Amino acid sequence: MPMNQLNVEIQDMVRGHGHWKQQLRLAVARMPEAISVELVRREDTGPMGKWLAEVGQDPARSHGPHFDKVRLLHRDFLIEAAKIAQLARTGDVEDALEGFEEGSAMQRSSDALLAEMTKWWLYTIRPSSARKSAAIRPGAPTKPRD
């Protein structure tokens, strides 16, 4: 798969992540009794989790320094989201809604995930020579040899 297709997929997942959080917030506010904590926690039920599982099967898309970090940060995010879902399910909707506020554990987790996804996206749009030069040791020549 061409790297430009991967960067489109990453952009789609970043947008989808925001949409998923909005949907969870609406569920917490309007129908907390309908939330499945187990489904929120699972890594393979949402769009990003399904996509990460697919990408993980394709070495051309999962190579590089970012895939494993994104996968772990996604898991961390879902753990925090499940805590909010659990609060909502037990009737503590007000505290659950506070979990969406800036500085909350879920929001920090979400920010970390999006930051790493942005790094991955940047990695996919840089020419391979830029990736190589970024890995050069300090003091080493920065021009590629002919």
Q: What is the CATH number of the domain that holds 113?
A: 1.20.120
Report whether 10 contacts 121 (CB < 8 A).
yes
The residue segments making up the domain with residue 98 are: 3-55+65-127
Closest CA relative to residue 28, chosen from 17, 19, 38, 36: 36
In-domain check, residue 120 = yes
Average pLDDT over residues 71-97: 97
Number of structural domains in the chain: 1
Categorize the per-residue pLDDT at 146 as very low, low, confident or very high, splitting at 50, 70 and 90: very low
Q: Look at residue 145 in the predicted model and tell me its pLDDT.
A: 41
Q: Look at residue 139 in the predicted model and tell me its pLDDT.
A: 47
In-domain check, residue 140 = no
Token pair recorded at residue 42: 């699972």
Cα–Cα distance measured from residue 107 to residue 61, given in angstroms and rounded to the nearest whole number: 27
